[in-house]
Amino acid sequence: MQQTDIELINRCKAGDKTAFRIVVQNCQGMVYSLSLKMLADVEEAKDVVQDTFIKVWQNLDSYDEHYAFNTWVYTIASRLCLDRLRRVRPIGPVDADERVFETVADDTDPERQLESSEWVSVIKVLADELSGKQRLVFTLSQMEGLETARIIEITGLDADQIKSNLYAAKKNIRERLIKMGYGKD
């Protein structure tokens, strides 16, 4: 961690709300991205962002400076997402989601950026049948681009568990794509 980050965290620990506002601004994008990809619901993702930073503020004293602050924040956010996935019965994709997915999947323009509503539809279609752990590992690895070592820190899973959950998630998504006519049997 950079010295300026440590100083910022120490200011937060001392109750400096301006410093905490900077922390939130620096981390809210990654928390929202993870939450939206995990939950496939804009409002739920916004709630997780808010809940994450409440927990961060309340637990700043337990943060260990030997670890990356972003990893600690990711851990809190991912656990909140898993809790919500366990608590709320996931809403499966609807026909409109599948139409959005097909539009996005057929788009050949590499410059096209997905908007939140499109991400929600794509994720509902592809991740509908994944377990919470599979969805978390897949999201962190494939969508957030994190390395296994960082995923281990965030999830508390070991490398074999990560590999197993990622394999199962990819297999499930591949099968879903085949059922929808994308790819080979």
Q: 145: which DSSP letter?
A: -
Separation in Å, CA 68 to CA 9, 64, 112, 135, 165: 11, 9, 32, 23, 24
**Type of residue numbered 56:** V
Q: Give, as one character, the DSSP assignment of residue 14.
A: T
Beta carbons within 10 angstroms of residue 74's beta carbon: 24
Residue of 29, 57, 69, 26 lying closest to 45 (CA atoms):
29
Residue 90 is predicted with a pLDDT of: 47
| Contact by Cβ (8 Å): 121, 96 | yes
What's the average pLDDT block by block, 10 residues per block, for the chain (185 residues)? 75 94 94 89 93 96 89 95 78 48 46 49 70 90 89 94 94 81 65
CA distances from 172 to 52, 135, 177 (A): 29, 11, 9
Please give the pLDDT value at position 1: 47
